[in-house]
Amino acid sequence: MTLIGMLHHRKDPNKVKKAYAYASVAKAEGVDFFYFTPGKVNIKQHKILGKALENGQWIQKEFPFPDVIYNASYLPSEKTRPIYDYLYDRIPFTSHSIGDKLSVYTRIKKAKKYKDYLIPFYELTNVQIFFDMIKRYQKVIIKPLSGHQGGGIVFIERDGTNRYKMNDAGLESSMNEKQMSAWLSHKVQEQNYVIQQFITSQTKSGHVFDFRLHVQKNGQGKWVVTSIYPRIGRLGTITSNMGSGGYSTYLDIFLQQEFDDSWFDTKKYLEQFAINFSNHFDSLYDNELDELGIDVGMDASHKLWLFEVNWRPGPPNIYSLELDVAKNTIQYAKYLAEQNKR
């Protein structure tokens, strides 16, 4: 029987919401499953002190090294790195990092096939890059290379010859060229940013929106769409992210409301794009990917724009999809284990 180990940095699986769902699905799928942290790995004996779910309780037990590891949290600290690396060299891991925003953009651009879906971007290493971009596009956004949940995104619009309007986390201000230059100089020293042309993706009522395309590998190692859902920003905001007060709704309802008679064709277009892009994107990496959250916008002419690709997307806020996500992950982990045994 296949043995799956769920590797996480938290010691208590009760504090990891999805652990219970994954353990339950594993039981239903007929595979053994346990939860563990790097500190409980005995390299010499090839044993792990983990926790298994029995009668609704997490019971501590000793396990052999698993057939496959679902690495469910962020990369390890320097202290646990040797253990992580030891396991990684010997056991298939389900998840692999895709890199930061700039490396993802660059990889897609270099491969050419989907470069027309990319919004023009540059790494913001100096003030002159900003002034060149704002002169060309009039409206830009800057965002941290390693940001998440829409944090740190700033919208800037050219307002006349030498003035600029800025929206920074909902705070609006106006600056002249000298003030803007000083503000940016401080910003680029703070952390690494990318700058992009601002693409308007708005509902009929003026709310910004995008689509999250959540895809996973299934038990045959094939990409499937787990969910597609719109994310709608509060009126006046520049991002539709949930962390910035955004909200969601059911896809069919949203499409019928916004796209009228073409709603069904739009839905099919999004589904096909999700699978086709995932297959292409997967081919750009040495290690096979298992799950992606692809964020896309759609402009007034219904052109699709690729906003971002995430390698560890959370489950949708408005659905109870934890079990669907867990089912795909467990089945894919089982597939990986079987492939490795061959």
Question: For every one of its 342 residues, what pLDDT tens digit does the chain have, with 9 covering 90 and above?
Answer: 899 999 999 999 999 988 999 999 999 999 999 999 999 999 999 999 999 999 999 999 999 999 999 999 877 788 889 999 999 999 999 999 999 888 999 999 999 999 999 998 888 989 999 999 999 999 999 988 876 655 688 999 998 878 999 988 778 899 999 999 999 998 888 888 989 999 888 999 989 899 999 999 999 999 999 999 999 988 777 777 666 677 888 999 999 999 999 999 999 999 999 999 999 999 999 999 999 999 999 988 899 999 989 998 877 665 566 788 999 999 999 999 999 887
Distance CA(208)–CA(33), nearest Å, equals 42
DSSP state of 321: -
Cβ neighbors of 184 (< 8 A, separation 6 or more) are 124, 127, 130
Count Cβ atoms below 10 Å from residue 162 Cβ, excluding itself.
11
Structure tokens at 182: 């000083």
Q: How many CB atoms lie within 10 A of CB 330?
A: 29
- Are residue 140 and residue 254 in the same domain, yes or no? no
DSSP 118: B
CATH number at residue 42: 3.40.50.20
Separation in Å, CA 295 to CA 97, 163, 216: 17, 31, 15
Evaluate whether residue 137 is within a structural domain. yes
- Would residue 107 count as lying in a domain? yes
Q: Are 296 and 211 in contact (CB under 8 A)?
A: yes
Q: Mark whether 137 and 186 lie in a shared domain.
A: yes
Co-location of 278 and 175 in the same domain: no
CA distance 33 to 285: 28
C-alpha span between 176 and 187 (Å, rounded): 16
Domain end marker among 168, 197, 226:
197
Structure tokens at 202: 């708005």
| CA 110/CA 284 separation, integer angstroms | 10
Reading phi first (left if > 0) and then psi (alpha if -120 to 50, else beta), residue 236 is in left
| Alpha carbons 257 and 175: distance in angstroms, whole number | 38
pTM of the model: 0.89
The encoded tokens of residue 142 equal 């800057």
Q: Please answer whether residues 268 and 306 qualify as being in contact, where contact means their C-beta atoms are separated by less than 8 angstroms.
A: no
- Please report whether residue 286 resides in a domain: yes
3-state secondary structure of 132: helix
User: Domain with 214 in it: what CATH number?
Assistant: 3.30.470.20
Q: State whether 180 and 299 are in the same domain.
A: no
Q: Confirm if 140 and 120 have CB atoms less than 8 A apart.
A: no
- Domain span including residue 249: 101-117+202-311
Q: 125, 119, 160: which is closest to 140 by C-alpha? A: 119
Alpha carbon distance 71, 94 (integer Å): 7
Supply the pLDDT for residue 321: 67
